[in-house]
């Protein structure tokens, strides 16, 4: 039987979720909710059969749905997800999962006790590019990862309830967690608030660094004040190096056979450093919409009971990294040791 779905939040991202869910055969988008009547009117125009609710809370209470998708501002994720899981619905939450790791842990416990699927939409993990990089790493062709360095900048969109770190960094942190199979050791971050008003005073520029064992390091640059949009990640490995440019569909991933090798041929001088400057290969990437894969995976997991790739624990790990990065930013870039076990088993 087709799973009945309700989408809560029909702002910027909600319409994309709805458009993708209606393409799937084994589910039916039965309801939508938004506090703004104009948004509901638009949704009804595109999907005349859909039942419209003026709040997510009412949809959860009264809607005839098996699952809800939460695409509302971050501060509302936890109360809505809690209400939905308590009502026995499967839940897909937009990134980041919640405002605190405590809230995220509570949702995981609720999903366990209710036996319902809890998944977080970390869209980029499901993209053709990231899936291909992961295959390359798993094959051993890439070697040990030395560094992960991402830039995600553009002009706006300023969010009213969170800073740039909480808005943009979940994308890069989730990809990093999916690709680097190591427990993060420490973290630090700094940010700046050059734009502020009396009522709004949040960081619009942030830089964060996560350290892993064996000298693996990751760096994140997120910025709402950039004149151009950049979505570029460099990943350096012992055997290969990758440039992943999300905005270049023809060469989204470039794999370079470049690096440094040690040779001990010259015994007199000891080890000799050699630069490897081999060829570049740009593989064909599956360009189908990553969000469609997210929606399909959610329905599949809810129906089969199998754990999602970006389930509750994965979402919690991203929230925890954001929380620690915020703590570091609030203390002028203080280095924070990460003691608790992290979600390294995203790769299992």
Residues near ligand NAD, by CB under 6 A: 8-14, 33-36, 39, 55-56, 71-74, 76, 94-95, 121, 123
Minimum CB–partner distance for residue 148 and ligand NAD (Å): 19
**Closest to ligand NAD by CB, 19 or 182:** 19
**Closest to ligand NAD by CB, 14 or 312:** 14
**Closest to ligand NAD by CB, 74 or 176:** 74
Q: Which of 64, 5, 23, 15 is nearest to 43 (CA)?
A: 15
Sequence-distant (≥ 6) Cβ neighbours of residue 270 within 8 angstroms: 264
Minimum CB–partner distance for residue 170 and ligand NAD (Å): 7
Q: Is 213 exposed, middle or buried (0-12, 13-18, 19+ CB in 10 A)?
A: exposed
Whose CB is nearest to ligand NAD? 11
54 vs 77: CA distance, rounded Å: 17
Sequence-distant (≥ 6) Cβ neighbours of residue 29 within 8 angstroms: 5, 6, 7, 18, 21, 22, 47, 50
- The count of residues in the chain is 348
Minimum CB–partner distance for residue 241 and ligand NAD (Å): 26
Minimum CB–partner distance for residue 126 and ligand NAD (Å): 10
78 vs 104: CA distance, rounded Å: 7
Q: Which of 79, 84, 78, 88 is nearest to 114 (CA)?
A: 88
Minimum CB–partner distance for residue 123 and ligand NAD (Å): 4
Please tell me what DSSP assigns to residue 157: P
**Closest to ligand NAD by CB, 126 or 342:** 126
98 vs 94: CA distance, rounded Å: 9
Minimum CB–partner distance for residue 237 and ligand NAD (Å): 26
Q: Cα 116 to the chain's mean position, in Å? A: 21
**Closest to ligand NAD by CB, 241 or 325:** 325
Count CB neighbours of 37 within 10 A: 10
**Closest to ligand NAD by CB, 90 or 171:** 171
Minimum CB–partner distance for residue 125 and ligand NAD (Å): 10
**Closest to ligand NAD by CB, 200 or 281:** 200
């Amino acid at each position: 039987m087709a799973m009945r779905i309700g989408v809560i939040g029909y702002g910027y991202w909600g319409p994309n979720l709805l458009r993708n869910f209606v393409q799937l055969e084994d589910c039916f988008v039965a309801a939508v909710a938004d506090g703004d009547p104009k948004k509901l009117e638009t949704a009804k125009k595109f999907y005349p059969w859909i039942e419209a609710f003026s709040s997510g809370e009412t949809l959860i209470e009264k809607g005839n749905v098996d699952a809800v998708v939460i695409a509302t501002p971050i501060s509302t994720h936890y109360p809505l997800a809690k209400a939905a899981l308590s009502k026995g619905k499967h839940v897909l939450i937009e990134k980041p999962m919640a405002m605190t790791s405590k809230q995220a842990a509570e949702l995981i416990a609720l999903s366990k006790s209710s036996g319902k699927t809890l998944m977080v939409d970390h869209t980029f993990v499901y993209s053709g590019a990231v899936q291909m990089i992961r295959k390359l790493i798993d094959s051993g062709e890439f070697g040990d990862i030395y560094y992960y360095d991402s830039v995600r900048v553009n002009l706006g969109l300023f969010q009213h309830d969170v800073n740039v770190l909480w808005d943009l960094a979940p994308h890069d942190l989730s990809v990093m967690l999916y690709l680097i199979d190591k427990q993060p050791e420490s973290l630090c971050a700094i940010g700046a608030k050059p734009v502020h008003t009396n009522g709004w005073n949040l960081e619009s520029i942030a830089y964060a660094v996560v350290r892993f064992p064996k000298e693996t390091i990751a760096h994140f640059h997120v910025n709402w004040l950039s004149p151009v949009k950049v979505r570029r990640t460099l990943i350096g490995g012992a055997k290969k190096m990758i440039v992943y440019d999300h905005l270049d569909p023809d060469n989204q991933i470039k794999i370079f056979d470049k690096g440094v090798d040690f040779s001990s041929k010259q015994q007199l001088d000891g080890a000799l450093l050699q630069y490897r400057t081999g060829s570049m290969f740009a593989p064909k990437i599956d360009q189908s919409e990553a969000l469609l894969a997210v929606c399909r995976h959610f329905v599949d997991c809810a129906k089969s009971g199998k754990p999602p790739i970006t389930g509750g624990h994965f979402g919690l790990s991203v929230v925890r990294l954001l929380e620690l990065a915020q703590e570091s930013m609030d203390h002028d870039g203080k280095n924070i040791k990460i003691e608790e076990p992290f979600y390294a088993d995203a790769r299992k």
